[in-house]
Structure 1
Amino acid sequence: MIVTFLGTGTSQGVPVIACGCEVCTSSDPRDNRLRSSILIEAGDRTVAIDSGPDFRYQMLRANVQRLDAVVYTHEHKDHVAGMDDIRAFNFKQQEPMNIYADARVQAALMREFPYVFAEFKYPGIPQVNIHPIGLEPFDIGSIHFIPIEVLHYKLPVLGFRINDFTYITDAKTVSPEEKEKIKGTKILVINALQTQSHISHFTLEEAIDFAQDIGAETTYFTHISHRLGKHADVEQELPPGIKLAYDGLQVSI
């Protein structure tokens, strides 16, 4: 299985519009972060987790030629706003896109993209097959997903464990029961927004504590704000086995 980090930034991305801070003006390409998303390639399936506002460019930049499904973590705009751009895959593959989403995400997609779900289908609109998900495991081809529920302040968000890989974004609280689902994973991806306290995201310190509690062989931090600091500087301060993810990073599992 190959995991590609399509985006590792928070809701505003990095650089932030009109910001002149040292991170937003950095010449290090690792400090340029699109909205958070990953691509999973395993067996004969290619699956994206989330389709944020940068989805079109992420697909072009990663040269994705086929996409079998999009799996959604939650309904916030930085995770769903690019869904319309699945149209290109509809046209190339001559089939609807498989969408895996819980009831809240489905309602948000219907609200944000009403023309997709309208009785009258205007020519050229995205074509989708909705697959409802919850906390029960599900399969996409040979890829086995175990949903993990975390809290983004008070909003439930789904993370996913796939074999020895776990991906969680927008977490502030993880219950002991859900944490048990993660234990034993070899590669963990978790959000680390910034150093300052935040109501709905792990801080860097909280993410480090969580990673050390899980004890994965390697942990990558994602959903990163410009307030966290420059990639090169932050990585020097991280404990062994913990790294910052960056756009374009590929991990083989």
Structure 2
Amino acid sequence: MRVTLLGTGDTTGTPTVGCDCDTCQLARDPSDELREQLRRRDVTFTADGGVERTRFSVHIHNERTDESLLVDFSPDFRHQFLREDVALPDAAVVTHVHFDHLDGLGNCYRLVDDIDVFAADETDPETGESVAETVASDYAYLDQVSVEAQTPLESFETCGFEVTLVPVVHPPLLCYGLTVEDPETGARFAMTGDTCYDIPAASRRQLAGADLLLAEALVPADLCEYHPLGGDHHDSDGVPRTFGTKHMTREGALALAEELDATQARLVHAAHFYPAEEAFEAALAVDGEQYLLP
């Protein structure tokens, strides 16, 4: 199982369009020290030598079957696939219907002959539709796409993997993480999806014990003071593990990874609000990282 992090950023990505904050400037023009650190992580630099966190997406290749599973359709789909030169997906999963996880689906037009897109079958009180129904209605014009509704916490097979959608908490919409397991090798990948720290117990059990865990970590905890709702789900030292109500802090993501006993954890969905001196620290993923799971 080869996992490629196509997009590791939040809704605006890093660097953010029109932003000249220190973090975005450092992403555009990394210092020699940062560039060397990132080279050791085998990241992909941009044509002009910068680094990126484009909108979220993950590519998972099954080397046994030579099939590829895509998790979420980033609006940066075209750029990501050209940059990383990975195979087009044979199937995909959509975790929720926010644009930064879904709007790249239109790129399937003329690129693939057919693709199964898996999404949850639970009706969202906010939209009156399940994620599967929203994807099917919004992209009805794509004849290549077949939407397959799936029940959360019940595994299904695709691309030679066993995949399970995992309910998380990302108000006001229903949202899901997932696990992907190779039944032949036992390799196990997990991701939280967009969520606060307060993930249900059944979901935590499903996410536990992964070889690689992607945990959403929008901002460092000290930035909660700038959110209108502050922070939530504080630890014993009073550190907020949730930013507002629907995203984890860096500290929350690290605590969750330890609790879930992941062999390796990478923090994703990071915003450009991280201070420049912290924005590319070792735990925070950047686009282009690859992991070969046993």
Whether 1:158 and 2:158 are equivalent positions in the alignment is no
Q: Which residue of 2 aligns with 1:215?
A: 261
CA contact (8 A) 1:96 1:127 kept: yes
1:72 to 94, 101, 104: 94
Alpha-carbon spacing, 1:128–1:209, altered in 2? closer, same or farther (3 Å): same
Whether 1:247 and 2:287 are equivalent positions in the alignment is yes
Alpha-carbon spacing, 1:244–1:41, altered in 2? closer, same or farther (3 Å): same
Q: Secondary structure at the match of 1:233?
A: coil
Runs (4 or more) in structure 1 with deviation over 4 Å come to none
Q: Secondary structure at the match of 1:67?
A: coil
CA deviation vs aligned residue, 1:53-73 (integer Å, no higher than 9, x gap): 111111211213442011111
CA deviation vs aligned residue, 1:70-106 (integer Å, no higher than 9, x gap): 111111100010111112332xxxx311111124223
CA deviation vs aligned residue, 1:6-61 (integer Å, no higher than 9, x gap): 00000111111211111111123575211011000012210110112111111211
CA contact (8 A) 1:165 1:185 kept: yes
User: How many angstroms apart in 2 are the aligned matches of 1:98 and 1:141?
Assistant: 10
CA contact (8 A) 1:89 1:97 kept: no
What TM-score do the two structures reach when normalised by structure 1?
A: 0.85
Q: Which residue of 2 aligns with 1:100?
A: 118
CA contact (8 A) 1:23 1:31 kept: no
Alpha-carbon shift at residue 128 of structure 1 (Å): 1.2
2:104 to 60, 82, 101: 82
Alpha-carbon spacing, 1:102–1:223, altered in 2? closer, same or farther (3 Å): same
The one-letter code matched in structure 1 to 2:159 is: G
Q: Secondary structure at the match of 1:108?
A: helix
Alpha-carbon spacing, 1:234–1:128, altered in 2? closer, same or farther (3 Å): closer
Percent of aligned positions with the same letter in both sequences? Answer: 27
Q: Which residue of 2 aligns with 1:33?
A: 53
Whether 1:50 and 2:56 are equivalent positions in the alignment is no
2:211 to 156, 168, 186: 186
Q: Structure 1: 5+ residue runs without aligned partners?
A: 117-125
User: How many angstroms apart in 2 are the aligned matches of 1:48 and 1:87?
Assistant: 16
Q: Which moved more, 1:210-219 or 1:32-41?
A: 210-219
| C-alpha RMSD of matched pairs (Å) | 1.9
2:250 to 174, 190, 204: 204
User: How many angstroms apart in 1 are the aligned matches of 2:271 and 2:11?
Assistant: 8
Whether 1:12 and 2:12 are equivalent positions in the alignment is yes
Alpha-carbon spacing, 1:235–1:22, altered in 2? closer, same or farther (3 Å): closer
User: How many angstroms apart in 1 are the aligned matches of 2:246 and 2:218?
Assistant: 10
User: How many angstroms apart in 2 are the aligned matches of 1:134 and 1:229?
Assistant: 40
Alpha-carbon spacing, 1:234–1:133, altered in 2? closer, same or farther (3 Å): same
CA contact (8 A) 2:15 2:25 kept: yes
Q: How many residues align?
A: 234
Q: Which residue of 2 aligns with 1:121?
A: none
Alignment of 1:110-189 (within 5 A): 110-116=136-142, 126-135=143-152, 136-163=154-181, 164-172=188-196, 173-189=198-214
CA contact (8 A) 2:72 2:102 kept: yes
Alpha-carbon shift at residue 176 of structure 1 (Å): 1.3
User: How many angstroms apart in 1 are the aligned matches of 2:280 and 2:74?
Assistant: 26
